[in-house]
Amino acid sequence: MMTLVSLRPSGRALRRIALAAALALPATPAFAEEAADISAAQRIVAIGGSVTEIVYALGEEARLVARDSTSGFPPAAAELPDVGYMRALSPEGVLSVRPDAILMLEGSGPPEALAVLREAGVPYVSVPESFDRAGILGKIDRIGAAIGAGDKAARLAEEVGAALDEAVAEAAARGREARILFILSMNGGRILASGTGTAANGMIELAGAQNAMGVFEGYKQINDEAVIAAAPDVILMISRGENHTASADEVFANAALAQTPAGQNRRLIQMDGLYLIGFGPRTGAAVRDLSAALAELGL
């Protein structure tokens, strides 16, 4: 019997996002200089899905004039002008909205675009990224301090940290040993999977499970032999909208995946990308939902 669990944030419509590739690559610093003081800025461009989400969670969204294409939550963010994909920014697009500051997730670029923005004299703050509890709270603190909302950030960090701690404790109490294979893409039948040091790996660990591909770092294409040897209990993927999400039949039509415990038991979980691996304010809820989905599959 086919078992497919597809999860999205409760009460939210399924959104198409350009997050996957943004989280697939290792982060690199945006600029080398010290961050500017943007506490008085009123026309801020937010680059990075979690950055935009945190600004909204702080109640400071009125100061945003644009966002990047990975910023899919909350839905109201989609009404802001889109300045492009965070790793392929057009400086002309950013400057066209007349920003007086930029909040930029670490790893945004390319460097040539950032150099143009720097030369244009637009102050910026680069927000560090790491895929753990400290990383989430650090982003909240950094953004709050940058925009002069430190008190709000302290309260938000406390709430987010408590929710995450509770979800992680609940997941750990299950004592599971499930092996998860996170697949970023299967274009042309070639599986691009998550190793260590990624957002997907961080989420798998928070949910009390094991990364079936914990033998390498980053995202890599893996061959059939590696898939079979990994012996995942479940496949985890990003949902990409009704017309872009692979069905269980399509996923397990892959001969190698079909031979794994996940394939033999038809275990597939799909979740909204920003929700699952954005490492923003909703990560505690995402951990709880992923853990619950694993439990529903008997893991």
Query: Which pLDDT does position 5 carry in this prediction?
Result: 54
pLDDT number for residue 28: 37
Share of the chain above pLDDT 70, in %: 87
Answer whether residue 101 shows pLDDT above 80.
yes
- How does pLDDT run across 169-180, given as a tens digit for each residue? 999 999 999 999
* Cα–Cα distance, 19 to 95 (Å, whole number): 23
Residues 280, 139 contacting (CB under 8 angstroms) = yes
Q: How does residue 245 score in pLDDT terms, banded at 50, 70 and 90?
A: confident
In the predicted structure, residue 23 carries a pLDDT above the cut 50? no
Which is more confidently placed, 68 or 10? 68
Sheet containing 124-127, strands listed edge to edge, beginning at the edge strand earlier in sequence = 64-67, 44-47, 101-105, 124-127
Residue 244's pLDDT is what? 65
192 pLDDT above the threshold of 80: yes
Q: Picking from 119-128, 174-183, 234-243, which range would have the lowest pLDDT averaged per residue?
A: 234-243
Q: Provide the pLDDT confidence category of residue 240 given band limits of 50, 70 and 90.
A: confident
pLDDT band at 1 (very low <50, low <70, confident <90, very high): very low
pLDDT in tens, 43-82: 999 999 999 999 999 999 999 999 999 999 999 999 999 9
On whether the pTM is more than 0.85, the answer is yes
pLDDT of residue 242: 60
Whether the pLDDT of residue 276 is over 90: the answer is yes
Q: So what's the pLDDT on residue 243? A: 58
Q: What is the mean pLDDT of residues 213-241?
A: 95
The pLDDT score that the predictor gives to residue 296 is: 97
Residues 249-272: tens digit of each pLDDT: 999 999 999 999 999 999 999 999
Sorted by where each starts, the structural domains of the chain and their CATH numbers stand as 3-14+176-296 (3.40.50.1980), 23-166 (3.40.50.1980)
Answer whether residue 219 shows pLDDT above 50: yes
- Rounded to whole angstroms, the Cα distance separating 247 from 234 reads 14
Q: Please state, rounded to an integer, the average pLDDT across all residues of the chain.
A: 90
Return the pLDDT at 246. Answer: 80
Q: Is the pLDDT of residue 241 over 50?
A: yes
Burial classification of residue 141, based on how many CB atoms lie within 10 Å of its CB (0-12 exposed, 13-18 middle, 19 or more buried): middle
